[in-house]
Amino acid sequence: MIIEIWSDIMCPFCYIGKRHYENALKQFAGKNNIELKWKSYLLDPETPLEFEKPLNVYEYLAERKGISLAQSIKMHEHVVAMAKQAGLDYQLDKLVIANMVKAHRVIQFAKKKGLADLIEENMFKAYFTEGKNLADDDVLVAIGIASGLTKEEVITALTDDLYAYEVDQDIQEARAIGLTGVPFFVFDRKYAISGAQPTEAFLNTLNKSYKEWLASNPQPGLQITSGESCSTKGCDN
């Protein structure tokens, strides 16, 4: 069964939602029959690749949403608390606001190598915990290498227009299915979860969608007619 996740690295709820999904998957009996596909999404494609003056996350959200700095700080305190409950360590004072298009290009390359889930985790950690600038090529090379890519492969992702095209294709697909925010989890193209829902919601949707998927995709098995035989424990009498 295929599960697709539309996500943006700069979205704090995407990392939390990823962890909730993973916690549900640990409890899910059919986890070995799941194929996970990560999809790119850009919440703020107009974010500059470089800022003349560094902008902290509190100022950024206040400016973007037209709220006070105090309101922005309060909202982020709630996010940090949610992250902590999910076992994540958000260090938002260190966070570097950046355009994520380069990061998504590298993720698109990693998908072809079967490394998407690992690089998503490493990107999230670098951004929310370590305060790395994900618009910096050297930072992306380091994350790519730590995730199993070579320096040359990361440079290819950053320079070959194919990967920019694939990012755009994911975004266009998101619009086509009516997606308006992330994280967005799609289960077998029948059910969806929007936002960082609790682990129980993911587990319930996994069970429901998998049951229907199994009905349409019966697993192969041998029809066995038993008779007298021998095994490692001895022979039948």
Residue with tokens 């998927």: 213
DSSP-assigned letters across all residues of 37-75 = EEEE--S-TTS-SS-SS---HHHHHHHHHT--HHHHHHH
Residues in contact with 172: Cβ distance below 8 Å, sequence separation at least 6, in sequence order:
none
Tokens 């996350």 correspond to 57
pLDDT at residue 226 in the model: 61
Q: What pLDDT score does 55 carry?
A: 79
Q: Which residues contact 45 (CB under 8 A, 6 or more apart)?
A: 99, 101
User: pLDDT tens for residues 108-152?
Assistant: 999 999 999 999 999 999 999 999 999 999 999 999 999 999 999
Q: Which amino acid is at 206?
A: L
Name all domains of the chain by residue range, CATH numbers in brackets: 2-216 (3.40.30.10)
The pLDDT value given to residue 187: 98
pLDDT at 224: 58
Q: Residue 53 pLDDT more than 60? A: yes
Residue 78: pLDDT above 80?
Answer: yes
Band (222; pLDDT cuts 50, 70, 90): low
- What pLDDT was estimated at residue 139? 98
Q: To which H or E segment does residue 192 belong?
A: strand 191-194
Is the predicted pLDDT of residue 220 greater than 80, yes or no? no
As given in the structure block, the two tokens for residue 215 are 């009905």
